[in-house]
Amino acid sequence: MSGLPPTEGRQAESAGLDLLETQELVDLLVRDQAQAAAAVRTQTSTLARAVEGVVTRLRAGGRLHYVGSGTSGRLAVLDASEMPPTFGTPPDLVCAHIAGGDSALRTAIEGAEDDARAGEAAMSGHVAAGDAVVGISASGGARYVVAALEHARAIGALTVAITSSDASALVAAAELAIVLPTGAEALSGSTRLKAGTAQKITLNTLSTAIMVRLGKVHDNLMIDVVATNEKLRGRAERLVRDLTGAGDARVRAALDAAEGSVKVAVVMIARGMDAAQARTLLQSESLRSLL
């Protein structure tokens, strides 16, 4: 049917899906999902531009906002919630706004994605001109997301669209558009499948690259990981030990004094200083320059 976004089309390859034997069914679904990564690879240049744009805003004191509904909103919340424990960021540096509010994380709230006024209200008072806003909608037509981006762009925020539909209102609303050509789903219209997988890959790439550029990573190590449980405490100890060569007792003592901060503990050991001195030094120097 004309006028429908690509995500609403019917896929010839999956015709007769309900008639397939279980092994054939699983093989088809996995094969279709594999196309998500290929779709993201077509957008790496635009993704890189988005990373640089967001980094510029965050370095100047701005924040990053995600806006989505349904699956897209849940993926946005997931990515935002991973930033503090993975990179030690303040909880409000990366914010997620989902149509229908927190209740929509577990329960589908019908009509929430169509509420343009709610999308605008989600941005009003929360988004500033120095921020970046990423709107996510597979069809590109969720009015909650479109209105949020339109409001954010009008006040001067950087706006980025992540969608699978190039001729969509979301693309028109955004300064930068990452259009993922995922096409029709194996289960027609179910964008939690291939389109959702492509969104997850895109968000993983976007947020990780941003944090690398912000100095939250040394080599390929999570040096700003927050040791909030036993597993992460063990990881923090391994990181400090690997980067300094210090023994277990010294590593544990430094981490305790550094209140769990890997970077601070590493500088304490490498430079023979206390936690306060190490924190002060890290405000003006990168970890790489101090090792």
Asked if 202 and 215 touch (Cβ cutoff 8 Å), the reply is no
Whether the Cβ atoms of residue 46 and residue 202 lie closer than 8 Å to each other? no
- How far apart are the C-alpha atoms of 36 and 46, rounded to whole Å? 17
- Please identify which of the residues 8, 13, 110, 113 carries the catalytic annotation: 113
- The one catalytic residue in 8, 24, 82, 285 is 82
Indicate whether 1 pLDDT > 50. no
Annotated active-site residue 82? The verdict is yes
Map out the domains of the chain with their CATH numbers.
6-213 (3.40.50.10490), 230-290 (1.10.8.1080)
Q: For 98-142, how does the pLDDT look when each residue is reduced to its tens digit (9 = 90+)?
A: 999 999 999 988 789 999 999 999 999 999 999 999 999 999 999
pLDDT of residue 226: 77
Is pLDDT of 175 > 90? yes
**pLDDT band at residue 2, thresholds of 50, 70 and 90?**
low
206-243, pLDDT tens digit by residue?
Answer: 999 999 999 999 999 999 987 778 998 999 999 999 99
Rounded to two decimals, the pTM is 0.93
Give the span between the Cα atoms of 266 and 243, in whole angstroms. 7
Measured at the CA of 210, the angle between CA 237 and CA 42, to 5 degrees, comes to 120
What mean pLDDT is predicted for residues 83-89?
Answer: 93
Catalytic residue check, 24:
no
Residue 203 banded pLDDT, cuts 50, 70, 90 = very high
Q: What is the mean pLDDT of the chain?
A: 95
